[in-house]
Structure 1
Amino acid sequence: MSEAPHEAPIKTPGQLIAAVIAAFAIPIVVIILLAYYVNQSIRTGAGTEGLADSTVAQRIAPIAKVDVHDANAPHVFKTGEEVFKAVCTTCHTPGAAGAPKFGNNADWAPRIAQGYDTLVQTALHGKGAMPPRGGTSPDDYSDFEIARAVVYMADHSGANFPEPAAPASGAAATQTAASAASPASEQSASASSGASDQAAAAAAIAALPSAPAPTSSSADNAQAGKALYTQVCQACHAAGVMGAPKFGNKADWAPRLKDPMNVIYNYALHGKGNMPPKGGSQASDDDVKAAVDYMVSAAK
C-alpha cells in the first residue's frame, strides 16, 4: 500500500502573505495587551510613600507651634461629664483608694446625705486619698467646673442635685489657688482591694498631708507607728498599689524582711522605687521607724 503524498498547508501566494502577516501581528498584539494590563496596576517601590505630599509636609513642618488665644474671649466651661472623663474617672470608675464608684448608689448614699455644699468643698479641698480638685489646679478647672463634675457623679448615683449656677463673667479668671490649696486632713479608712493602677497611687501620694504626723511624745512607739500608718502609709500599703507590700500580707513582706531592719528603715526614710521619702510626709525619723515596726509586726 502506498502512502498518500503530503500537501503543504499554504498553496497560494495569498495564503503565504497572510501567514507572514499573522506571524508578526499576533505576537505584537499580545505584547501590547500584556503591557496595557501591567500598567493598570499600582506599583510602589520601597520608600516611595516618603515622597507623598502629606509625608513631606509633616517632615518639613516646624517643631514649635504657637496657639494664640484671645484673652478677652468668653470662657467656655467644661461640662460635668467632660471633667469626670478627664479627671475623676481614674479613681471613681474602679473605686480606687476607697473612692465611691460612679453609679454605685450604695457608695454614694452617705456622701449625698452630707449635702451638695459639703460634697463640693470635699472635692475642692480634698479628703482621704483624694487630692484637692482631683489633683488638678484652678488653672485647669474652675470651682464651677469641679462643682459640675460633683453634681454629674452624684446625680448618676442616686442624688438629684440641680446644675450649679454659672459664675459671673470673668469670675473664673479671679479664682486663686488658696481656695483649693489646704491639705487633706484625713486618710481613707479602707481602700479598694482591686486598686493597683499607677494613677490611683499617684493620686494617693499627692493627697498626703504636708503637716507633721503626730509624734510619739503623746503616745508610745506602737501608737505613734499606728497613727502614722493610718494617716499616711495606708494610702498605698492597704491596697498594695504600685507594688507596695500589702499591710499584713506575709507573702508580700517576706522578701523585704530578709534585709536587716536598718536597711528597711533606710528605704522608708529615703524612699525606694515608687515610694517617696517618708511616704511623702513630714513625719520625724522616729515616727517613720515606728510605722515600719507597726507594719512589720503585722506581717510576721
Structure 2
Amino acid sequence: MSDAKHTTHPSSHHPSHDAAQHAGHEVHEGPIKTPKQLIAAIVASFVVPVIVIILLTNFVDFGQKAGAGSDGMSAEAVARRLQPVGSIEIKDVNDASTMKNGEQVFQAQCTACHATGAAGAPKLGDDAAWGPRIKAGYDALLASALKGKGSMTAQGGGDFSDLEIGRAVVFMANKSGAKLDEPKTPAAAASAAK
C-alpha cells in the first residue's frame, strides 16, 4: 500500500471544502435582499418621520384651538388675533380733555432724569440750577426740551405734543421758583384773545 498523501492546493475549490470552511462562521446578511425592498426602505425612511411630525403637531395643543366652553372662535377673539401689531393714536390739540397736564407729562417722560439729577439734568425744585434757565425765558426752555440739550434727547415728536411738553417745562420751572402760566390749547388761546 502506498501512503499517498492527498494535498490540496489553495487555488482548488471544492464545494464541500467551502461549506466546511464557512460552517464555523455565520453568514451575515441584512434584511434587505431585493432592490424592491431597498426602495421601500428608503421611501419609508422619509415618509414615516413626516407622518409622525404631522400627527404630533395635531396632537399638541398650542392654545389656539377652541375647546368646549372657550370663546376662541368668537368674532372678538378672532379680531384680537388679527389686529395689527401697532396702532396710531391721533390727538386733537384743541380738545383739552385728551391733553395731559404738566405734572402728568413730567411723571411719564421727565422724572427719570429731572427727579434725580441724572446726566446733569437740573433737579425738580433746585432753584439754583433752574435760576439761569428760567431767566432765559419760557421760549428758550421749550426749545431746549423740544430739540434736546446736552444729554437730553429731543422730546418733540415723541409720545407727547409740543403743547404737552411745554406744560411739563412750565411745571418743572414753577416747582423751581418760576411763575409761568401753563400754555393753553390753540382754541383756548384764540378765545382768550377775543
Q: TM-score, normalised by structure 2?
A: 0.48
Which structure would you say has the larger Rg? Answer: 2
